[in-house]
Structure formats: structure tokens, C-alpha cells
Structure 1
Amino acid sequence: MNSERLPVTQDSSPTRPRRRWPRRLLLALLVVAGLGAAGFAVQRTLGSDKPAQAPATAPVLVQDIEETVLANGELEAKKLVNVGAQVSGQIKSLKVELGDEVEKGQLIAEIDPLTRQNALRDAEAELTNIKAQKAVKQATLKQAQLAFQRQARMLKGDATSRADYEDAEATLDTTKAEIQALDAQIAQAEIAADTARINLGYTEITAPIKGTVVYLPVKEGQTVNAAQTTPTIAMLADLDTMTVSAEVSEADVTRVRPGQTVYFSILGEPDKRYYSILRSIEPAPESISEEASTSTSSSSSSSSSDSAVYYDALFDIENPEHRLRISMTAQVSIVIDQAHKVPTIPSSALGRPGKDGLYAVRVLRPDGTLKTRQVEIGINNSVRAEVRSGLSEGDKVVLNEAPAAPATSSSSRRPRGFLGF
């Protein structure tokens, strides 16, 4: 069976021409898009736009504000005295215990006085002996004066020789000189007796100030040796007034000066503030004593330059109830500046200041749009800032407003296929 091959024919239907965008329509759309983008930019520049979602805001509040320098401090007794023994010997008795309150002049301890009593008796005996020698010389002086006067009368009547007269005169002068020497010995003996009497008094140790016994390193029967160093018998502290020594860093010390208000809290009472006035700032750090006592080499000087430098700021605080104790840690705040009942905003609402010193702050208006305002800022303690102008109480400022990235911004995002792309 013969199969017939059909001829291949081309489609005779008319071809559809490709649809093209009119050039004028494309130009018109581009112009409209450009005008819209320009209008949006102008709106952003004027600072009035309605965000897609409400940003985090905080109201302007009227309150007190202060700027402070923070420092760590330690409490010390304003008066702290080491009571030592000036003589050696065995402690015969202790009259106080740790924590006792003592008055000035009160007996604290007694050292065995027998050795000092014997030394005093010996000095007094030596003084008595020299005074007796002087009495003998005074009698000899009287005899020498009479002999000299007799020789003088006889010499006028040529009844004696010149030699006998001169011998009587020399004896008188010698006796007077010996009495002067004895007077000097008596003075020395009196000094020795007084010293022995004072040393005997040192065996009774009394309180030099009114205070509290805060340290008692010795016990009854213990022997102390005062030959080389003065042994400590007790330590007394006047706890009615405490001194706080606060370490201020070199970065802040230039802003601190005497007379500023200062307050602190202790670890046991973190919510209670103790107020005082800064008394003084030490001119050099404590490390200067170590640097003066040791010779610094090039390596040590380089290492010391890397360490922090602190200066002690001192102030006093009344402590009538003795709630504050020695060596307590104090969290100290030194008030640099403060203002009362002023408008404030969170510091996080601020950026960098402009050349005129003003800050650009975004404010959320009642209609939901944002407005940029130029604000003058006063005190800024990094938590809240004082508003001097530009805002009113109740205004809501935007916090931490980060600028939107162009790739994810709703104003720059375009639907796929827009304008045929």
C-alpha cells in the first residue's frame, strides 16, 4: 500500500507583533516615581513623617537631676591612737577589754613597777648623798671665809706673811668652786631622779583620748620589751566621728573640689544615704610612699604607668550610734552638679550634638507623626538629661531610633516586575 507523504506547509496564520511600552509612557512613569521619592525625602528632611510602627518613646518628666562622680571608699575613725608601753616589763594587770568605752586618763594596764621603783630609790639616794657633800663644803666654806678675813686683818698690821694670806684666799676660792661643782651634780641627780620617777609612772598606762578599745593585742602576764620598739598595749578609736577615704580616679579628680556635697551608702544598708561635705583631696596618691622608698628602674616605671592612679578624697560623718564601723566599704557619690524640678529625658534619646551644641531629638506627635526638634541640654548623667529648651513636659521623645537601612527600607523596596524589570 502506497503511503502518500503529505507536504509540510508553514502556518499561514498572521504573526502577532511583540507588545512594546510606548516611550512616552515610560518617561511619564519615571518622572512620577522621581517626584514621589523627592517628596518623601523632603518630608523626611522636615522631620515630620508617620512611621510604619510606633517607636519606643519616653515622656518628658519634671524631676530632680544630678551629676556625680562615683568612688569606692573606706571608713576610718577620725581619731585612732596606738597606746604603747614606754618601759619594759611584765604586764601585771589589764583594766579593759575589747570594746570597752574609756575616758581620757583612765587606767588601761599596769606593768610590774618593782624595777622602776628601785631605780627611783637609787636616784633619790644619790641626790641625797650629793646634797650632804654640799652641806660639808658649805661648812668648809664658812671656815675658809673666817680664815681669809683673819689673814686680811693681820696683813694690814704686818702680823702675818703675804704667803699665809694668799693660802687663805686660795682655800676660799677652791671651796667656792667645789660647791659650784656639787650644785651641778645635784642638778644632774635631780634630773636622774625625775627620769626614774617618770619611768615609774610609765608602768601605769592610761588612755590619751576618750574612745573605744578596738584592738587589744596583749594579755595579763605577758612580757613586753620597749628597748627597740614601742609595743602596742591597746588601740583606742573615737567612733563618734568617722572619716571616709574615697578613691577618686585621675579622670575625675579635676572635677572634684572641697565643699561639694557627698553622700554614701554601706553594704549593710544599701538604701540609706549618709550625707556630708567634702573636706579635702590629698595632693598625691598613696603609691607615692612606695615610689619614694624604692628605686625605680626603667622596667618598673613602665609597668607603673599602666596602673590606675587614685587620689583620696576625705570627708567626715557623725556617728553617734556607732552604726558605722572601721574598715566598712562605702559606695561614695560626689555631687558635681544638680538641678531641682527641671524637665528631663532619657539620655538614650540623644545623639551627637551639632556644631551649635544643640541635639536633634525626635518627638512623637499626637497624630502619630514624628517631628525633629533642636534641644538644649544641661546636666547629663548618662541616664537622664536636663532639658533647658526645645521640649515641654509630657512630650514623647523617641528612644534609640536607628536609621533604616536602604536595602530593607519600605521606601526603597519595590515590587518585582515594576516598570517591566
Structure 2
Amino acid sequence: MMVLNAGAAVADVSKPPQAMAATDATPDTVTVQRGDLQQTVDAIGKLQFHRVSDVSVQTAGQLKAVLFAVGDTVHEGTVVMEMSPAVQAIQVESNRAQMARLQAELADQQAQTDFAELQFKRQTQLKAQNATREESVESSRMNLSSARARMDSIKAQIQQLQATLKFDEESRQHTQILAPISGTVVAVNARPGQAVSIGQAGAPLLRIADLSQMTVQARVAEADVTRLRRGMTANFQTPGYPGRTWSGKLRQVLPVPAEGTGEQGKQTFYNVLFEVDNPEQDLMSGMTAQVQFVVAQAKDALLLPAHLLGKRDAAGMYEVRVVNANRQIVPRAVKVGMRNQQQVQVLSGLEAGEQVLAGPVPVPAVAPLPKRAALMGTP
């Protein structure tokens, strides 16, 4: 019996080292499967408005009414605020009456100027015939000059009054303040009775944002930002909608460090922008975005958990241990391609469905000898 056991031990040693007989214990394995693999750059970002417009006034005055509140939907060209007219109607009518009077004076002065021209021409002709005195000629010349001067004065007054009337009309038209874009009111800092002016500093009177599309501003570390390119896919999730993913295309990497980074030993980050459609307006400004920029991807690839790879040899191959159909654990050299922290793409050395050992090699269990054989040493 002891000789037979020794012989069995010799037989085990003689097996090739690439194959080891599996025991009755079921080894821990992972099945090689096909799937999609992505290399990504992860970042944290914030959602913000993509298209926003502030409402301002075009003339000074006093607000009469604010017609919309935060959250209301408005359309381009809709009246959102009204102002009390800076110019009262009675003043407009007075200016128009003055214009009519000046135009009448101009017509009368035109007639007087025409008569003065005729008088001057007649006196000039009589002077040529020595039929009038020099004083009469000079008097007619002065009358013509005076008439022309009065005409110029009336025309200047008319021009000035025309400018006033134009300003009055524009002021009356600007009492209705219109929405510059269609969207949702996201800020209101105006109240009835408030005095406003052109180019007023401070918070906008009213702000409108188009919520059908949002911008994601993500902060990417300096070590990763060089891997990003315009047009690459960007996916993100937000804590408000667990399990839901939105996608967009990278639009721009801002070429200056993000505010508050890269100074006094701080790590440098860069802001990266992309847009996402928001037709149902589920996404809101200020939401946190957990972003993944897709640097590379492989479709329908053979996949294997990255931690199962053994050492890398001089040829760039990695060793894994495969459990074959005979329940033997066989070393196998594989070539890998793309990888991320969890998985690798297998280019050669494995087939879909093969089992790769995921744990340690099972230790064979040795059955104990019968008590009698152990004591006597003989069968």
C-alpha cells in the first residue's frame, strides 16, 4: 500500500507543469464574455443655463407693473413689464401744437422772403438804369437778408422740436418692456414703483433662461485634460435621478485654470463645457453632474476582469489560468488591448465562454489511511 502511494506520488510529479489536475472542489472562475468597454476620464461638474437673457429698459422712468414671476413661461415679444410714461400726454400735445405754429410761421416767412427777393431784384434793375437811389438798393438787400435769417431761425426751431417729438414718441413706445427670448423666468428683481434707468447697475430687473438645453461645466484635473478632444461623448448622472444617464458632446476646454486652483501648491483643474438636451426640463441649474468623458471605446469585445491578469512578459503578454473542459487548470498567455480600472479587452489567447480561474489553485484533499494499515505498515 505504501509502495503504491509512493508510486502515485511519482506519477503526479511527472505531469506537465502547464496542467494540474483539479480536485473535487469547485474552483472559483469567471466566464470570458463579450461586451462593450470604455476608457473614461471622470470629473465632477455643475449644470448651468446654456442660453439666458436679462431684461433691461431703454429709457429712464418708473415701473408701473411687473407681469411675471419666477417659474413662469414667457414667449419672445411678450410684455413682461410696464413703465409709467416719462413724458405726459399733455406735454406731447403741447409740443405738437408748437410744431404746427412754427410750420405756419415758416410758411409766412417764406412768403415774406419771396417778396423781399422780388424787391431786391427790382431795385437792382432800377439801379442799372439810374432810376433809383443807392439807399433803396441797400435797404432791399438788408430786408432780404433779414427775411432769410428769420427763415433759418424758424427751421432750426422746427428741427429741435422734431427731435423732442421723436424722443417723446420713443419714450411712450418704451413703456412696454418685451421679453427678448422665449423661456422661463428665473430671476425677478423689479417691483412696481421702482425707479429705473438705462444701463442700471446691479442685479438684472428680470432674467429669462431657455431650459430646453443645459450646459454642464465639469472640472477636469490637469493630468487628464490633455486626453480630451472636442466632439467626444460625455455621459453624466446626477443624484436627483438615480440610474438615469444623459449624454452630450464636448464643446470646449477653457484654456485657463478653474478659479481657485493651481495656486500655492493646489492641484490645477480646467473647466470643460458641453451641452445636453433637456426637453422635459428635468435638469435644473446647480445640479451636480458625475461626468464620464469617453476617451476610447470598443464594441462587442472579449472582456476579462483586470485583476485576473498575471505578470506581463517581455513580449507584452499576460498569463491567466484557464479551467478547461477536463477540469484542468492550464496557464494561458493572452494579449490585451484597451483597459480600464475594472476590465480589459482580450485580443487573443481566450475565447468567449472559457472559464478563467479567479481564486487560488485548489489544494488536493488527501484521504487519511486506514488505522490498521497505518499501525502495521502492511495491507
Other-structure match for 1:101: 73
Structure 2 CA distance for aligned equivalents of residues 124 and 284 of structure 1: 58
Shift of 1:386: 0.9
Deviation at 1:75, TM superposition (A): 2.3
Structure 2 residue 315 is matched with structure 1 residue 394: no
Pick aligned residue for 1:64 from 15, 23, 36 = 36
Pairing partner for 1:313 from 267, 273, 276: 273
Aligned to 2:298: 339
Aligned position for 2:332:
373
- Structure of larger gyration radius: 1
- Compute the displacement of 1:145 (Å): 1.5
- 2:197 is paired with a residue whose SS is coil
State the secondary structure of the residue aligned to 1:149: helix
Once the two structures are superposed, what CA deviation does each residue of 1:278-327 show, in whole Å capped at 9, x if it has no partner? 3333333453xx99xxxxxxxxx851x5243222222231x222222222
SS of the equivalent of 1:199 reads helix
Report the CA distance shift for 1:175/1:57 in structure 2 as closer, same or farther (over 3 A): farther
Aligned partner of residue 385 in structure 1, secondary structure: strand
Q: Is there any run of 5+ residues in structure 2 with no aligned partner, and where?
A: 1-9, 362-379
Matched, 1:234 2:194: no
Match of 2:115 among 137, 143, 146: 143
Q: Tell me the equivalent position of 2:234.
A: 262
Percent of pairs with identical residues: 30
Q: How many angstroms apart in 2 are the aligned matches of 1:354 and 1:246? A: 39
The equivalent residue for 2:64 is 92
Q: Distance in 2 between matches of 1:389 and 1:316?
A: 38
1:190 corresponds to: 162
Query: Residues 175, 340 of structure 1: CA spacing in aligned structure 2 closer, same or farther, 3 A cutoff?
Result: same
Higher strand share: 2
Aligned residue for 2:373? none
Q: Provide the C-alpha distance between the structure 1 equivalents of 2:258 and 2:108, rounded to a whole number of angstroms.
A: 65
CA contact (8 A) 2:85 2:171 kept: no
Instruction: Confirm or deny: 8 A CA contact 1:282 1:312 kept in the other structure.
Output: yes
For 2:66 and 2:86, locate their aligned partners in 1 and report how far apart those are by CA, in whole Å: 17
Cα pair 2:72 2:185 within 8 Å, conserved: yes
> Counterpart of 1:278 in 2: which secondary structure?
strand
Alignment of 1:117-136 (within 5 A): 117=89, 120=92, 124=96, 127=99, 131=103, 134-136=106-108
CA distance in 1, matches of 2:311, 2:110: 100
> Do the aligned residues in 2 keep the contact of 1:253 with 1:311 (CA within 8 Å)?
no
Give the superposition deviation at 1:253. 2.1
Q: Which residue of 1 aligns with 2:124?
A: 152
Count residues in correspondence.
348
Change beyond 3 A, Cα 1:364–1:177: farther
Q: What residue in structure 2 maps to residue 225 of structure 1?
A: 196
Q: Does 1:324 align with 2:283?
A: yes
| Counterparts of 1:275 and 1:285, CA distance in 2 | 25
Name the SS for the 2:245 alignment partner: strand
Check the 8 A contact 1:91/1:110 in 2, yes or no.
yes
TM-score, normalising length: structure 1: 0.70
Specify every segment of 5 or more residues in structure 1 that has no aligned partner in the other structure, as ranges. Answer: 1-35, 292-300, 403-421
Offset at residue 89 of structure 1 (A): 4.2
